[in-house]
Amino acid sequence: MKLLFLACLSPKTGNCTTAERIREHIESSGHICVLRDIVDFKSPADVAALVAQEPSFEGALAIHLYKGGRLLLGSKAPFGIVFGGTDINEDVKDEKKRMVMEQVLKKARFAVAFSHKLKQQAEVFWLSQSNKIYIQPQGIETKATASFSWRAFLRGSGVNGADVEDLHVFLLVCGLRRVKDPLFLAEAFSEWHSEDPSVILIIIGPKIDPVFTGEVEANVERLRGVFLASERSQEQLHAVLKWSSALVNSSVSEGMSAAILEAMDLRVPVVARDIPGMQRLSDTRKLDCSSPLRRSSEQEFVSVSKRLLRDRSLRERVVRNGKRYVEEFHSSAAERITYQKLVELLH
């Protein structure tokens, strides 16, 4: 079966990584899956023309109901859709987008939500389509490159003259756009660095929004102890994560953060903003056993981060529970089986 797969493929982003992984799952069962960036198409007519070209595509798949799914509405090929966090957290607030998303979901043979919570949120708007929404968490596999040099990475990020062994590096992994809100923690971590120069915050990720990137760069320039690093390959990023003290996440909206899941798989503690997307990943019965640890204010982020550095038992519990969670709920093998079965619905 020849399939067209549409997704946002900005290099070294979570969307790109997810799309590549799903494509590999589909092709491992003998199908041809052609992955294309949504920015290559101006309208559904462009996609319809591509699908109809000989040899024609027999089916299609897209990530995001609005960004990707709307481009499939003019095509005759049967298709499936994968929810993104932006769908439920942001796009449904726009009535025009929500109407388009409803059309996409009605026409789709199946839809995939990364969590029960995401499906429940979708049912608020499209309950009649609930039976076609399958739950499949993201599958996680981590592999750090053996050639990684922590010193070289720090120098490349502008950290000079520091004793690597004494540093406590907190990483904020995100594409530079407003919804990720990387500056939320910058002032607080800079103040902490003034008290303890061994503590630094490194924001790492691609420059997605040029205007907002300029704001981030200007703020980082004036804040001591806060640095900006360019995006890395997935293996290099995993190596950076593995050597860091903790991952922090300050997004105002998340579907399911691959960076958080990867950190948990690598046994790295996570401190994340207390938003619905984070609550899906947490054991709320007891804070000390939750992973990630969730906080609302900048001061709370710093407070719990300080505790992670001094309280070894807390760190061990967070790391142990995070690893166990990923192994239990984010199996790449299980994800592969799910997508291979769902593709059969496109026949």
- The tens-digit pLDDT sequence of the chain (347 residues) is 999 999 998 876 778 889 999 999 999 999 999 999 999 999 999 999 999 998 999 999 999 999 999 999 999 999 999 998 888 888 999 999 999 999 999 999 999 999 888 899 999 999 999 999 999 999 998 987 778 888 888 888 888 866 777 899 999 999 898 888 999 999 999 999 999 999 999 999 889 899 999 999 999 999 999 999 988 888 899 999 999 999 999 888 766 788 899 999 999 999 888 766 555 554 333 334 445 555 567 888 899 899 999 999 999 999 999 999 999 899 999 999 999 999 999 98
Q: Are residues 105 and 199 in the same domain?
A: no
Query: Are residues 69 and 178 located together in one domain of the fold?
Result: no
Question: Domain limits at 260?
Answer: 150-329
Provide the CATH number for the domain around residue 18: 3.40.50.2000
Answer yes or no: do 165 and 192 share one domain. yes
In a domain, 318, yes or no: yes
pLDDT at residue number 296: 63
In the chain, the number of structural domains is: 2
What pLDDT is stored for residue 319 in this prediction?
93
Q: Quick one: 158 and 202 in the same domain?
A: yes
In this predicted structure, what is the pLDDT of residue 103? 96
Q: What is the 3-state secondary structure (H, E, C) of the chain?
A: CEEEEEECCCCCCHHHHHHHHHHHHHHCCCCEEEEEEHHHCCCHHHHHHHHHCCCCCCEEEEECCCCCHHHHCCCCCCEEEECCHHHHHCHHHCHHHHHHHHHHHHHCCEEEECCHHHHHHHHHHHHHHHHHEEECCCCCCCCCCCCCCHHHHHHHCCCCCCCHHHCEEEEEECCCCHHHCHHHCHHHHHHHHHHCCCEEEEEECCCCCHHHHHHHHHHHHHCCCEEEECCCCHHHHHHHHHCCCEEEECCCCCCCCHHHHHHHHCCCCEEEECCHHHHCCCCCCCHHHCCCEEECCHHHHHHHHHHHHHCHHHHHHHHHHHHHHHHHHCCHHHHHHHHHHHHHHHC
* pTM, entire model: 0.82
259 and 291, same domain (yes or no): yes
On whether residue 207 sits in a domain, the answer given is yes
Quote the pLDDT of residue 59: 96
111 and 130 in a common domain: yes
Is 165 in the same domain as 313?
A: yes
Are 249 and 289 contained in the same domain? yes
Q: Flag whether 61 is in a domain.
A: yes
